[in-house]
Amino acid sequence: MGKPVTETLSVVVEREIPHPPEKIWRALTQPHLIEEWLMKNDFQPVVGHRFDLRADWGAVGCQVLAVEPNKVLSYTWAAYGLESVVTWTLTPTSTGTHLRMEQSGFRPDQQQAYQGAKGGWPRFLAALEQVLARID
Amino acid sequence: MPDAHHLLFRTLADPTRRAIFERLCREGELTVGALTARAGVSQPAVSKHLGVLRQAGLVRDRHEGRQTHYSAQLGALAPLIDWTSHIVGFWQSRFDHLEDLLKRIDQWANL
């Protein structure tokens, strides 16, 4: 996306899943299946497609950024005035798939993203964890 | 996002400010002079950043003679940590649902 990511706060969730990437890909990209585990939607695996994820508490506005079948799926995720990007990465393993979800771009101040930076949020949080561990 | 989170995020979004806060976390109590020595910005700029950090509750100042000593207040980070774990919790539960679905797809195939 060409933007510096140094000022980005991101959340990563990863899991080993005992199913092949092709099957997980279906669950990530077919609307009736997405609805089963995430939210109601009008998703299409087409770059540039805009869609909504709808829940009782409101809707998330999304746009597809990247589609690499069985490998990478990325879309924007706008909710509560926060712009972020959700990226799914599927890596085949001997027992199934390593599934990784990264939600990044929680930038409270967009302009800060364009300033030169010394270390980003992830490094900051890592450093913080070390500090907190020492205190315990 | 609640205002408290917004203030905290805005405050820490600035790399210079975050670096100052990180140094206070690592090195404990420091004066403006000590902080300026390695901040790469002027003393007035450091003072201004400290003021913003103090408003967000991230640093506390202590006067001793003519010197002011600043220290990090890690408790003020709680909303950031809570919020991050909230997002992680959301996705963990979605992963659970996804795994359930993948199991069910197998059952459909076996019907």
> First-to-last CA distance in chain B?
46
Of the listed ranges A34-43, A52-61, A118-127, B35-44, the least confidently predicted one is: A118-127
Contact criterion met (CB < 8 Å) for A7 and B19? no
| Burial (Cβ within 10 Å: 0-12, 13-18, ≥19) of residue A97 | buried
* CA distance linking residue B47 with residue A28, whole number of Å: 49
Contact criterion met (CB < 8 Å) for A37 and B1? no
Quick: pLDDT tens for A53-68: 998 778 899 999 999 9
Contact by Cβ (8 Å): B2, B83: no
Paired strand residues for A17 = A97
Contact criterion met (CB < 8 Å) for B18 and A124? yes
Per-residue pLDDT at A122 exceeds 70: no
Q: What is the largest CA-CA distance in chain A?
A: 49
Contact by Cβ (8 Å): A65, A76: yes
Q: Which of A135, A23, A43, A132 is nearest to A86 (CA)?
A: A43
> pTM of the full predicted structure?
0.68
**DSSP string for residues in chain A:** --S--TT--EEEEEEEESS-HHHHHHHHH-HHHHHHHS-EE---SSTT-EEEEEETTEEEEEEEEEEETTTEEEEEEEETTEEEEEEEEEEEETTEEEEEEEEE---S-GGGGGS--SS-HHHHHHHHHHHHHHH-
Q: Is A133 on the interface with B (CB under 8 A)?
A: no
Mean pLDDT of A83-91: 92
Extract the tokens encoding A75. 């879309």
pLDDT at residue B8 in the model: 82
Quick: pLDDT tens for A31-43: 999 999 999 999 9
Q: Which of A57, A66, A68, A62 is nearest to A83 (CA)?
A: A62
Cα of A111 vs its chain's centroid, Å: 22
Put simply, the chain A residues between 14 and 53 with a CB less than 8 A from any chain B CB are 15, 17, 19, 23-24, 26-27, 33, 36-38
Mean pLDDT of A102-123: 49
Q: Which of B84, B104, B105 sits opposite A11 (nearest CB)?
A: B84
Quick: pLDDT tens for A66-76: 999 999 999 99
Extract the tokens encoding B37. 């020595």
Taking the CA of residue A73 and the nearest CA in chain B, the distance in Å comes to 15
pLDDT band at B6 (very low <50, low <70, confident <90, very high): confident
Of the listed ranges B18-27, B47-56, B62-71, the least confidently predicted one is: B18-27
Write the CB contacts of A67 (distance below 8 Å, at least 6 apart in sequence): A29, A45, A46, A47, A73, A74
Q: What is the mean pLDDT of chain A?
A: 78
Q: Which of B74, B87, B98 sits opposite A11 (nearest CB)?
A: B87
Q: Which of A15, A33, A132 sits opposite B95 (nearest CB)?
A: A15
Of the listed ranges A6-10, A74-78, B51-55, the least confidently predicted one is: A6-10
* CA distance linking residue B92 with residue A93, whole number of Å: 20
